[in-house]
Structure 1
């Protein structure tokens, strides 16, 4: 939807010319030197000329050129220049979409906006057929679009994917007179439609068929029924300005329609459920895509954070390459990298270096970008910036963006490449953003490259975050030094949830953290799984846990804790004061999976279970517990009245131990989940346990026990410390049950 410096849209997106004399030719085409280009008679163009008398017309007359006095000027085309002969009227934006009750995540609101903006959508299959039909085929303007090509905008609300195309106009007379961009678009649509045929009414990327708001569910279900025939087409609706918006020559009502189109176009490109294809290879002889005003705007709003929409840079491919690729390869090759969002001032500065047909276009583009930015960035409650391949440089560029956020609560920067320098820049940004300091609640920096220095920088900023509740730093490179710095800051924060899973924390850091935890008045969850804590660190935590009045979950899975540490923790468990703040039956979140606990440690824990009336979940996976330790656990289980879930995955339990568990199962009223995968269980023991489970009326599919070692290699530890925390739906542990097909594995991760 872009035009070059001299040939941006004839209307062009903000400027409205006056018809003084209707000609059979069409408007002017300014070349790079500023001269007028040749007219295109074949497109029924009209040259709009005005004499000096038209410059005194009232504004309302400018908007209704076919309804008022027509000038009799006969000035020639060669005497006409944009500055002298074309009177222009600016078009203002509509303002905040959120203020109107609209949403960038609702398909229903997207369809409504398309209807209000008078946008005509074209079936993707029709465009693909046109591109294949004959050599020299070109796009028709909206006025000449045949009825069979038109897709009802309401179909988008029913699940038809919307595709917005950003491209450069080749001339003012016609956006693509040689059909070059049509052929590329047609080839892409063929690939998309072919791949999409296996997924009826759903695009290949997420999101596809969107979920509707609760208040609109009934209305949308009716609309969905009305569009059933459209959905059968396995098609997409294409927004392509040459075909979607009235082009010159236009009557007064068509001009007003074009104005409504321009006022809302930013919303369509920015919407979460819009696919965007950027044809960044300009036509031969045209100015580059990167130097155009409108394409710059379309790219900027498309790349603002709004869900997991696909924005593709098609310029990375040639027409020859397209002939040998499939759609997944196109997705992988063309995925556009999202830069940090530009502030309106940064966009304004960038736009000054771009070319537009009319100077007033800049004002409109700045206004439209400001509106979308305020909705998606300044007024955002959650900012999803995960998996963007960002590093320390991008963290420095986020200052303006984060400083403008007025109510941001969730900042997700997980799975990037942020190191210590980037963490330091982020800490500086937070300290220099007063509104962010007052609003931020959840910060996710998991799966990055942050080390001790970076964590110390973040720790310095944490006490200034008034409402911070959750900090995720799992799977970084944090060691004892960084945790010591964090431990110093923790008592001065309101943090409730701290996840440090999968780092390099040893006994030194564990000791400092243990000393700080009793002074953290709000701390409810601590996840230190998959670190390097041994018995020494476990003893430090055992001394601290009874003093943590509000702690609900504590995870030491997959560390180096052995029987000595198990003894200390077993002694501490009954003393933990968790009943007033427990969730799900006041469970204790003490977890010991992945250590070196054998039968002796299991026996000690069994003795502790007799006194842990509120223990709900216990993970002893990936240890060395055999039949003796299992027998002691089985004897204690009926006395732990709230025990609901027990994980003994990947130990050394054989049929004798499984037999003792089978005897205990009927006496454990709350037990409804038991995992024994990857133990040397025989067929007889597995069958006996399954019969006892069924006889006790336990839920089907919640017993995970199969004979032998058939499940070797399945994911084990699922991070139980995350259960009950704010996680996305479906991110809890998934189970494999006896006799069922192998399902998705249970290696879920903590998420905001």
Structure 2
């Protein structure tokens, strides 16, 4: 194992002994052979993340296969994106080496000790008629990623055709890779027939309303896709409307990422998604009301992200009313919405009766002591909330003391973030006293308040008997909001 550590260090890689994980870039056959030899003799390696930065041969891949077989590594992440062969600009004699390398890769995938495989491939592999990797029974996950920007129209056509007949691909990442809008249409046609793809990433591909509509048509018949990432495209209201209509009949898709598009409408919220990120164009007050009305009886959505949507205190009120009756939502992200004390008080009243919400993020919302006290009152009653983020607000000692009193008796909250507020030594003392009796809080964020210095830390170091079984000091002063 020491030899392996030395090699990783010399190559400027990362070796995490606790996790059994190695991340490394190999520059040549010689360096790879030396590394593979060391790996084959090591025990306890659980994950290898390798970047092969030379035009490696079949023999190089066979050497990797031999090392993996001996070491029994269960997780391999392999970047082969630097292969130099370009089959579209070379003669047919270059085809055989690439085909041979693919066959060598197939032997790697067949190793029964492997459980997870992720590969970054060059477009050359798409040109092979025998490129049909199978997810064998011993594999829990097999995923492929193509080098960004490397795929042309011909390769896309081949990939789309392969997806129509392939029954084993589970994850495909084509972010920044479709090379024009027609690529999305090709993928949509493939999705109508494909029966295995569970995750498709089409982020950053200039997909507009026309292409989104084509994908929507595919979703009407596809019953296998679970996750679809369309972030960073140019989809507008028409495309979103088409997707919403498709999702009313599609019962498989649970996560649709439409962040950073040009969508203003609310119709998509009526779809049966379980995870919803809506980041970009503010939905505002009217849409917040419409959304709340939909979610009153929604029975599928479990996560809602409304970060930075100009909802305000008034817009928060209908969402709070929704929380009184919604029985499925477990995560609500309301960062940076200027909800203030009015919005915090409305949410606090809802928390007194809500029985499902587990994570609530209210960072960057101009919440002061009044709002903090209202939320504290809710914590006396609520027995389901486990994480509350109040970082980057205006909470002072009065609010901190109210929260401290609630923490004394609350037995479900495990994370409380109060970084970047106006808490001074008085608030810190109150929190320290609360932690003498609280046995469930595992993370308390207090960084960047009015007086958080060595003297504050010492307050928590005192009375170790009551502190030791609660929160370790490094965690108590966490350095970021969740």
- For residue 593 of structure 1, give the secondary structure of its aligned residue in structure 2: coil
Which residue is 2:336 aligned to?
558
Cα-Cα RMSD: 4.2
5 Å matches for 1:157-168? Answer: none
Given the superposition, is the C-alpha separation of residues 478 and 294 from structure 1 closer, same or farther in structure 2, using an over 3 Å criterion?
farther
- For residue 56 of structure 2, give the secondary structure of its aligned residue in structure 1: strand
Equivalent of residue 122 in structure 2, options 304, 311, 322: 311
Which residue is 2:213 aligned to?
424
Which residue is 2:186 aligned to?
397
| Conserved? CA contact 2:355–2:382, under 8 Å | no
Cα separation, 2, equivalents of 1:429 and 1:518 = 29
Q: Does 1:573 align with 2:351?
A: yes
Query: 1:593-638 CA deviation, whole Å, 9 max, x = no partner?
Result: 2211101111111111111123211111111111111111111112
Q: Could you tell me how far 1:513 is from its partner in structure 2?
A: 0.9
Q: Which protein, 1 or 2, shows the higher relative CO under an 8 Å CA cutoff with sep ≥ 6?
A: 1
Given the superposition, is the C-alpha separation of residues 592 and 693 from structure 1 closer, same or farther in structure 2, using an over 3 Å criterion?
farther
Which residue is 1:473 aligned to?
258
| Conserved? CA contact 1:427–1:458, under 8 Å | yes
Equivalent of residue 545 in structure 1, options 293, 304, 323: 323
Q: Could you tell me how far 1:676 is from its partner in structure 2?
A: 1.2
Cα separation, 1, equivalents of 2:306 and 2:464 = 33
| Conserved? CA contact 2:192–2:218, under 8 Å | yes
Cα separation, 2, equivalents of 1:575 and 1:668 = 23
| Conserved? CA contact 2:54–2:82, under 8 Å | no
Query: 1:698-729 CA deviation, whole Å, 9 max, x = no partner?
Result: 343653539xxxx7xxxx544xxxxxxxxxxx
Calculate the TM-score normalised by the size of structure 1.
0.47
Given the superposition, is the C-alpha separation of residues 572 and 289 from structure 1 closer, same or farther in structure 2, using an over 3 Å criterion?
closer
Cα separation, 2, equivalents of 1:701 and 1:387 = 43
Which residue is 1:700 aligned to?
472
Q: Does 1:621 align with 2:391?
A: yes
Calculate the TM-score normalised by the size of structure 2.
0.70
5 Å matches for 1:271-350? Answer: 274=80, 277-280=83-86, 290=89, 292-293=91-92, 307-309=118-120, 311=122, 337-339=150-152, 342=155, 346-347=157-158
Q: Highest CA radius of gyration, 1 or 2?
A: 1
Given the superposition, is the C-alpha separation of residues 543 and 688 from structure 1 closer, same or farther in structure 2, using an over 3 Å criterion?
same
Given the superposition, is the C-alpha separation of residues 347 and 564 from structure 1 closer, same or farther in structure 2, using an over 3 Å criterion?
closer
Cα separation, 2, equivalents of 1:199 and 1:392 = 38
Which residue is 1:588 aligned to?
358
Which residue is 1:9 aligned to?
none
Given the superposition, is the C-alpha separation of residues 607 and 390 from structure 1 closer, same or farther in structure 2, using an over 3 Å criterion?
farther
What is the number of residues matched between the two proteins?
400
Cα separation, 2, equivalents of 1:198 and 1:273 = 17
696-705 or 373-382, which deviates more: 373-382
Cα separation, 2, equivalents of 1:235 and 1:469 = 37
Which residue is 1:265 aligned to?
none
Q: Does 1:666 align with 2:432?
A: no
Equivalent of residue 607 in structure 1, options 377, 399, 407: 377
Given the superposition, is the C-alpha separation of residues 691 and 413 from structure 1 closer, same or farther in structure 2, using an over 3 Å criterion?
farther
Cα separation, 2, equivalents of 1:572 and 1:565 = 11
5 Å matches for 1:65-464? Answer: 197-199=11-13, 204=25, 224-225=40-41, 238-239=56-57, 274=80, 277-280=83-86, 290=89, 292-293=91-92, 307-309=118-120, 311=122, 337-339=150-152, 342=155, 346-347=157-158, 373=162, 377-388=166-177, 392-431=181-220, 434=221, 436=222, 438-464=223-249
Given the superposition, is the C-alpha separation of residues 689 and 448 from structure 1 closer, same or farther in structure 2, using an over 3 Å criterion?
farther
- For residue 618 of structure 1, give the secondary structure of its aligned residue in structure 2: strand
Equivalent of residue 522 in structure 1, options 289, 300, 314: 300
Cα separation, 1, equivalents of 2:460 and 2:262 = 43
| Conserved? CA contact 1:342–1:401, under 8 Å | no
Cα separation, 1, equivalents of 2:181 and 2:464 = 53
Q: Could you tell me how far 1:539 is from its partner in structure 2?
A: 0.1
Cα separation, 1, equivalents of 2:263 and 2:481 = 21
- For residue 443 of structure 1, give the secondary structure of its aligned residue in structure 2: strand
Q: Could you tell me how far 1:237 is from its partner in structure 2?
A: 8.4
In structure 2, runs of 5+ residues without a counterpart are 15-21, 30-35, 44-51, 62-76, 103-116, 125-146
Cα separation, 1, equivalents of 2:333 and 2:459 = 32
Q: Could you tell me how far 1:238 is from its partner in structure 2?
A: 3.2
Q: Could you tell me how far 1:588 is from its partner in structure 2?
A: 2.8
Given the superposition, is the C-alpha separation of residues 297 and 452 from structure 1 closer, same or farther in structure 2, using an over 3 Å criterion?
farther
Query: 1:123-154 CA deviation, whole Å, 9 max, x = no partner?
Result: xxxxxxxxxxxxxxxxxxxxxxxxxxxxxxxx
Query: 1:367-395 CA deviation, whole Å, 9 max, x = no partner?
Result: xx98xx46995531222223437553421
Given the superposition, is the C-alpha separation of residues 202 and 444 from structure 1 closer, same or farther in structure 2, using an over 3 Å criterion?
closer
Given the superposition, is the C-alpha separation of residues 202 and 623 from structure 1 closer, same or farther in structure 2, using an over 3 Å criterion?
closer
5 Å matches for 1:718-729? Answer: 718=482
